Structure 1
Amino acid sequence: MASPQHNLTFFDLVNLCDNVHLQRDQRGLFDLAFNNENLVPFYLTESTESPIIGLLRPDILESLKQENVRSQKNSSSVLWNLRLEDSEQSTLRQGFNGPWVSFRDWVDTPAKRTSALKELCERWRDTGLFPDVCGPTKWRSEMYPIYADPFGAHDYPSAEGRGNNLNYVFEMERSACALFGVVTYGVHMSVYDEKIEEDGLDSLHVWVPTRSFTKQTWPGYLDNTVAGGIPSGMSMHESMVKECMEEASLDPDLVRKYMRAVGSISYFIRTAAGWLQPEIEYVYDIRIPHDIDAQLFTPRPMDGEVESFEQVPHSKLLEQLRAGLFKPNCGLVIIDLFIRLGYITPDNEPDFMRIITKIHGRFDYEKW
């Protein structure tokens, strides 16, 4: 359950969520915000032209070394190409020095990569190697797509399984994504009403859920009206429609008619345990129309992920945000809503441009 904090600023809230600060020098890549921890880029292939798809921490590198040893002992194909010492080949990659990791060249299709990581992550789960990330109590049984270009198309293989010329390169268990520092994606929506009040106060009311106290992550915190991940093979729009029905009992046809895509936010969060989660959230709104029954837009818990919903006025939303009661990335979506509706402006917020920049970041991807 969330514990109230002191009066956080909007910029404080952004920094809680976007808290990775990368620097690259002749030795490699480091996170200055986390004891200068050395991070190693995870390339898709051994080719010097390969895209980078993630960042690896020292603990993961040690585990991958042991995986290669295990494969050799079992006379099975070695999965990982580990270039952890300075070498001439290292300098050819993106013009940067330093270590790097990739799949071996035999793992050359989305299906092969998906299968290899499925076996690996399930074994790590069952042996308790990283219980705080992908242990039995954290396992989600949801597959997330991974893309060669994290800012590119969200495509998917055809029914025949062909993956040629796609941005999609494999998929993996949701809970394990933070181990490999890959970019993940979600959808968040605010259902709100905005009326003209005589005193100009509390004209905005947003439906806010309290997360279930049994949730695997952030139990008891406040959330956006509806939010969730994007399952592999499903569009952003249909993912949002699905979550609206499952979490909030909102009619799919009603959602499709009134939901509007209004942008995205992106941030690079390192968890309290040190795991890396670069994330992009696609943002949607439903502004409750005044010419139909507002009860149709009243969310109700459905799948057990929400304790309750409350229609919260603007003044109370501010109090909840500044007390740190929102799940951090959901707080960013509320801040984004305030900016888009004109409640946070360059005139009333001294950190306006810093906020705008940080909630639409690129994870310092050019340094990876």
Structure 2
Amino acid sequence: MKFPSAPLTVLPAPLAAALQRCLSRAQQPVPQGLMRFLVGDWPVGWIHPMRIPALQACWPELHLSPGLARWDASGLAPAQRSERIGIVASALRERQAITGWRDEAFACEQPVSDPCAERGEMLFALERAAFRFFGLRSRAVHINGFLPGGRLLCGRRAMSKATDPGRLDNLAAGGVPVGEAFDACAQRELWEEAGVPLGLSALLQPRGQLRSTRMTPEGLHDEVLHIYHLVLPPGFVASNQDGEVSEFLSFDLESLAQRLMRDEFSVDAAAVTAWGLMHPEGGADLRA
């Protein structure tokens, strides 16, 4: 495989500009005016003030003060916290304040100084569709797939997807559910989304992490992206297994730059693609 190994500054100018823009779009500051969400004294998320009336109706023990929404749950065990906030999330779902329910739980972690370098202890598990409502930090795996000749193989998200339907994506990607290791999650997603057998996905190469933060209609998206590269053999044909990918496309540098500049990729997939081109052999982490 041959792929650009030079620094970003010597990549073709249109591609270099597109990559910088992709990273900037994925790493935006938390907007002013959001309320800090605390579990005890642990700051874990951000809530839009317009969501407070719905929260008050569903969660009477939530303490509100200027700029803060505090849940006094530090004395509860993780299972107890999970049960209580799960009931709140279900009530919000009934009010249609939370949509796209997946019946899959993510872990809300205790804050750490650098979530790209370490994981905090799990405070509670919660339905993944509720994470943006509360502005909680989640984790996901993303895999850049490289074909012989220096082409990038990408999937197109099915129109039935709850987020970013129809947009281009990496070879495979997915949120990390409670209890699953990053490597295992990446291998599972590769099989489900692209039909990559375990013998091939065992050759995954970790390529660092980046943190994606931005506002969405559902709330604050805050996610650590664990990035992998996979070199695909000649003749490999991707085959979706779970109905979440509608097609696969391979791009050379010129066509990839055009697609990125037209915003055809999801925000996180575009950032991971940019990361893959900037660091084809690894390199220092890029962190927000």
If the length of structure 1 is used for normalisation, what is the TM-score? 0.67
Partners of 1:187 and 1:281 within 8 A in 2: yes
Post-superposition shift, 1:278? 1.2
Is the CA contact 2:135–2:222 (under 8 Å) kept in the aligned structure 1?
Answer: yes
Secondary structure (helix, strand or coil) at the match of 2:259 reads: helix
Question: Which residue among 208, 217, 240 is the counterpart of 2:163?
Answer: 217
**More strand per residue:** 2
- The residue number in structure 2 matching 1:67 is 58
Partner Cα separation in structure 1 for residue 156 and residue 76 of structure 2: 44
Instruction: Confirm whether residue 122 of structure 1 aligns to residue 84 of structure 2.
Output: no
Separation of aligned partners in 1, 2:160 and 2:68: 39
CA–CA distance in structure 2, aligned partners of residues 336 and 194 of structure 1: 19
Kept after mapping to 2: 8 A contact 1:107/1:113: no
Equivalent position of 1:366 in the other structure: none
**Which is higher, the Rg of structure 1 or of structure 2?**
1
> What is the match of residue 81 of structure 2?
113
**Partner of residue 221, structure 2:** 277
In structure 2, relative to structure 1, the CA distance for the partners of 1:106 and 1:228 (3 Å cut) is closer
Give the structure 1 partner of residue 231 of structure 2. Answer: 287
The one of 17, 27, 33 aligned to 2:26? 17
Among 14, 19, 38, the alignment partner of 1:43 is 38
Are the equivalent residues in 1 in contact too, given 2:170–2:273 (CA < 8 A)?
A: yes
2:167 and 2:59 mapped to 1: Cα distance? 41
Structure with bigger RCO (C-alpha 8 Å, 6+ apart): 2
Aligned mate of 1:147, from 100, 104, 109: 109
Task: Give 1:302 shift.
Answer: 1.1
Q: What's 1:322 paired with?
A: 261
Q: For each residue in 1:268-290, what CA deviation from the matched residue of structure 2 results, as whole angstroms up to 9, or x when unmatched? A: 1111x2721111100001123xx
Whether contact under 8 Å (2:38, 2:71) holds in the other structure is: yes
Q: Using the alignment, how far apart are the partners of 1:319 and 1:313 within structure 2?
A: 10
2:148 and 2:234 in contact (8 A); partners too: no
- Partner-residue secondary structure (3-state), 2:226: strand
Equivalent AA in structure 1 for residue 105 of structure 2: M
- Please name the residue that 1:208 is paired with: 154
Distance 2:152 2:138 in 1: 26
Report deviation, 1:194. 4.9
The count of aligned residue pairs is 269
How do residues 197-276 of structure 1 correspond to structure 2 at under 5 angstroms? 204-256=150-202, 258-271=203-216, 273=217, 275-276=219-220
Give the letter for the 1:280 counterpart.
Answer: V
CA distance in 2 between counterparts of 1:216 and 1:284 reads 24
For residue 294 of structure 1, give the secondary structure of its aligned residue in structure 2: coil
Task: Give the C-alpha shift of residue 40 in structure 1.
Answer: 2.0
Amino acid aligned to 1:259 = L
Which runs of 5 or more structure 2 residues have no equivalent in the other structure? Answer: 1-14
Aligned-pair distance for 1:102? Answer: 2.2
Report SS of the residue matched to 2:196: coil
What's the secondary structure of 1:233's corresponding residue? Answer: coil
Q: CA deviation at 1:107?
A: 5.7
**1:88 aligned partner:** none
CA distance in 1, matches of 2:36, 2:78: 19
5+ residue gaps, structure 1: 1-6, 23-30, 70-77, 86-98, 155-165, 196-203, 343-355, 362-368
Q: What is the percent sequence identity of the aligned residues? A: 20
SS in 1 for 2:168: coil
Cα displacement (A) at 1:181: 0.7
- RMSD over aligned CA atoms reads 2.4
**Partners of 2:42 and 2:253 in 1: how far apart?**
43
Task: Judge conservation of contact 2:36–2:45 (CA < 8 Å) in 1.
Answer: yes
Q: Distance in 1 between matches of 2:118 and 2:277?
A: 28
Shift of 1:294: 2.5
Alignment correspondent of 1:331:
270
Query: How far apart are residue 318 of structure 1 and its match?
Result: 1.1
Determine whether 1:81 maps to 2:8. Answer: no
Note if contact 2:192-2:241 (Cα within 8 Å) is conserved in structure 1: yes
